[in-house]
Amino acid sequence: MKAPICEVCLKNDGLLCPADEKKLQEGIISELDVKVARLLYRLLGDVDIEFKKAVEAGDLIVLIVGRGDVPTVIGKGGKNIKALVKELGKRVRVIEGFDTWGPGELKKLAADLFYPASIFGINVVYRPGGEKAYKVLVPFRERKKLPEKPELLENVLSQILGREVKIAFV
């Protein structure tokens, strides 16, 4: 299992090794990443999947996993999800992620996360100073099909991409 922490840290529940502790201190990984990585390892063992990161917004935790890894992480009949929900005390969703994020990757991610609502497209917005932000365009008629409140979805997407993501109904 590929995870944001090393194998030794995955296998124990104690202190992190110095390298992973440094990543935590520097904000490269979060406490939640550590917790979820260890839980997944306990549930799945050393299977060939990648857990990239977890983000939390409201009562929802979204797990970002490697390409094709969603079914394994969810488990037969959702048994792993049920175990995660029990351990984490929040709703859990598992979404396929990428190593680098551009508008194309964001479009795929938003399509998964917003299902059954459909997406019209992605706009790149340049902030003063040149910083990039994104707008996910959702057809106005799809608004009621969103599985979560728009603010919660914006929060999740912004955390995953590490930059501002807003939803615009068009």
Binding site for Zn ion (CB under 5 A): 6, 9, 17, 20
- Does residue 149 contact residue 167 with C-beta atoms inside 8 Å? no
Of 20 and 69, which CB lies nearer to Zn ion in the complex structure?
A: 20
- Does residue 59 contact residue 92 with C-beta atoms inside 8 Å? no
Shortest distance, position 7 Cβ to Zn ion, whole Å: 8
H or E element at residue 14: none
Shortest distance, position 119 Cβ to Zn ion, whole Å: 38
Shortest distance, position 28 Cβ to Zn ion, whole Å: 13
Q: What phi, psi does 75 have (nearest 5°)?
A: 80, 165
- Does residue 84 contact residue 92 with C-beta atoms inside 8 Å? yes
Of 8 and 170, which CB lies nearer to Zn ion in the complex structure?
A: 8
Of 31 and 76, which CB lies nearer to Zn ion in the complex structure?
A: 31
Shortest distance, position 22 Cβ to Zn ion, whole Å: 10
Tokens of 74: 């969810």
Of 10 and 138, which CB lies nearer to Zn ion in the complex structure?
A: 10
Helix or strand or coil: residue 154?
helix
153 residue type, one letter = L
